[in-house]
Amino acid sequence: VYSPDFKAELLTALREEMAGIFKTQLETALTNNLIQIKLELHGVKTELSASITAIRSEVDALKVTVAEMDGPLSSCTDDVVSLKSDLDRLSAQVLVLDRKCEDLESRSRRNNIRIIGLPEERGPVSADTISTLLKDAFGLEKEPVVDRVHRSLQAKPKPGQRPRPIIARLHYYSDCADILRRARAQQRVKVGDSTVSIFPDFTPQTAKARAAFNDVRRQLRDVPDIRFGLLHPARLRITRGGVTREFTSPVEATAFMKTL
């Protein structure tokens, strides 16, 4: 039979021994783990050092490349500025030349008239036939002098299709202006069994610009107490209540129409 003091001493000794064993095992485990962690950190550090070295090398190479490109790029920028200046100057010159060409072409057509609606079945047109046609259609005292005549450069239409317009050049501008004035007054001219219309021979650019006002002119016909007309090359003049305004853009004319 063991005494209570002996049991107490035995328990104390067991506790101390077990605590020593746990402490030794824990220290061993922690030591092994710390060694492994140190090894892994060393490996990461080595990789990072290698990566940083490579990045620094690439950055240095980029710095050298940028330094080498700085001069050429500056020169290219100067060239672009110079070329833009030349482009603006040449564009302005082209615009001036385009307007001059348009004006010259318009002036070359001043003596031309365009006859719409004369059937193809009447046969080939000539200066003499058109001169006689104009004299009879407008009751002129004498036949106007016609230099040359031709139909527009299009494929010959099939039967039943609209005939090609006829372009006739009159020798004298006074005859051309007189015929156009009479044509505006009659609007539709009777030629035999046919009805034709006669207009100035505008350039394609001018004709397109004038055609842009067609909708506005159609609306103006329904407005009372208003006078309007299309001036050369493409300016719409509107007069109402003694006030006259001119428009070079259909958009502006349409906006003005809304105020009427």
- pTM assigned to the model: 0.63
* 93-118 core/surface letters (b: 16 or more CB in 10 A; e: else): eeeeeeeeeeeeebeebebbbbbbbb
CB neighbourhood size of 122 (10 A): 13
Q: Are 145 and 175 in contact (CB under 8 A)?
A: yes
Q: Order the strands of the 194-200 sheet from edge to edge.
A: 146-151, 166-170, 112-116, 194-200, 189-191
Residue 230 CA to residue 237 CA, distance in Å, equals 6
| 10 or 44, higher pLDDT | 44
Whole-number Å distance between alpha carbons of 203 and 207: 6
pLDDT in tens, 91-117: 999 999 999 999 999 999 999 999 999
Per-residue pLDDT for 1 more than 60? no
Q: How much is the pLDDT for 143?
A: 95
DSSP-derived letter for residue 233 is T
Per-residue CA distances from 250 to 39, 49, 99, 255 (Å) = 84, 73, 20, 9
Reported confidence tier of residue 202, pLDDT bands at 50, 70, 90: very high
Q: How many CA atoms lie less than 13 Å away from 122 in the CB half-sphere?
A: 16
pLDDT digits (tens, 9 = 90+) for 215-226: 989 888 888 888
Scanning 109-172, the segments in alpha helix (DSSP H) are 127-138
Residue 64 tokens, joined: 């050298």
For 84, the token pair is: 């833009």
Structure-token pair, residue 86:
């030349």
CB distance 198 to 116 below 8 Å: yes
Is the pLDDT at 5 greater than 80? The verdict is no
Q: What is the mean pLDDT of the chain?
A: 89
Longest dimension (CA), the chain: 166
Band the pLDDT of 89: cuts 50, 70, 90.
Answer: very high
Q: Is 169 exposed, middle or buried (0-12, 13-18, 19+ CB in 10 A)?
A: buried
CA distance 182 to 173: 14
Q: Dihedral (C-alpha) 51, 52, 53, 57: value to the nearest 10 degrees?
A: 100
Return the amino acid letter for 189. V
- Per-residue pLDDT, 19: 84
Token output for 197 = 């219309």
List, for residues 132-144, the tens digit of each pLDDT value: 999 999 999 999 9
Per the DSSP assignment, residues forming a β-bridge with 148 are 169
pLDDT beyond 70 at 128: yes
Q: Give the single-character DSSP code of 260.
A: -
Closest CA to 197 of 207, 188, 206, 210: 188
